[in-house]
Amino acid sequence: MSYCTKSKFLTMSSKNLSNFSAKTVGFAVTSLALGLLGTPAQASTFTRGSLPTDVSEVGGIVLDLTGSNGTRVITQAAASTLFVGNSPATNPLIIGTQTGFSPTVIAALGGGISQASVRVSLYDGDTAAGNFDLNDNTLLLNGINFGNFSTVQAQNTTATGDEGASGFSGGGFRDNTLDTGFFTSSDTTTLASLFGSLSSGNVVFGLNDIDPGDQFYDFTRGIDSSIINVGSGPIVTPGGTPVPEPFTIVGTLVGGTANTSRLSQKQVD
């Protein structure tokens, strides 16, 4: 709890304690109000990270690119479009595809990428300590290796983004658990390859497994939301017309695609 609850709580407090400014509400007041409300809010600030509020707190795959000019391009592929089921016996598993990288959106990055993060929400990843795919799985972006699932810190949440009982993984996405974590790269070679691949118009999210075909994955959990947000710096819409504020395409927003009762998991360990 403590500071991890602040984000969602302040939203609540602005409704319930309207005489307080959210900017000036300190932790003591937060604690007081938590007591008044009775039910502590537990929205995860970890899964929110530095993402704008038009990205849902969990769910889907969020790609956060910072261009060489400082412009951020943030996309969220909707959870409902992503892979769920038993993994194929051959690599790569295609998790899903982010469309919308038009020439105009690519140009907004200023000719390169300086930093890239990918937020993944996955139920039943089996890549944490003690799981059978520890250090076996890597995330691919347009076929480019973007990191080992087992080295990503991940947090368990509910389907709507509240902190879950299982806390943090310490690395990896756990068995029978909805975990969300960020893959991040500032490696110049990786980022140059990724930037070059955007000319396809898409980012295909894939997964390479050293011993494929032994997994059940559910990437559809969480909140079903999709956006393309081109902002922070020179602001460009896909049509190329400058606008006075960050441009966002918001897709479907459905609380809880998430079913918590899916029982079709392949039993492998």
- Contacts with Ca ion by CB under 5 A lie at 124, 126, 132-133, 136, 175, 209, 211, 214
Q: Return d(Cα 114, Cα 186) in angstroms, integer.
A: 6
CB of 105 within 8 A of CB of 195? no
CB of 258 to Ca ion, least distance (A): 17
Q: Return d(Cα 27, Cα 17) in angstroms, integer.
A: 14
Nearer to Ca ion, 27 or 132 (CB): 132
Nearer to Ca ion, 126 or 224 (CB): 126
Nearer to Ca ion, 136 or 163 (CB): 136
CB of 124 to Ca ion, least distance (A): 5
CB of 144 to Ca ion, least distance (A): 20
Nearer to Ca ion, 92 or 231 (CB): 92
Strand order in the sheet with 137-141: 93-98, 203-209, 137-141, 144-148
CB of 88 to Ca ion, least distance (A): 11
Nearer to Ca ion, 137 or 229 (CB): 137
Integer angstrom CA distances of residue 218 from 90, 95, 141, 214, 267: 18, 9, 18, 14, 14
Q: Residue 100 carries which side chain, given as an amino acid letter?
A: G
Per DSSP, helices labelled H in 86-214 are 103-107, 188-197
CB of 205 to Ca ion, least distance (A): 17
Q: What is the CA radius of gyration of the chain?
A: 19
DSSP one-letter string for 6-44? HHHHHHHHHHH-TTS-TTT--HHHHHHHHHHHSS---B-
Strand, coil or helix: what is 103?
Answer: helix
CB of 253 to Ca ion, least distance (A): 29
CB of 182 to Ca ion, least distance (A): 22
Nearer to Ca ion, 101 or 216 (CB): 216
- Helix axis angle for 6-16 and 27-37, nearest 10°, is 70
Nearer to Ca ion, 192 or 211 (CB): 211
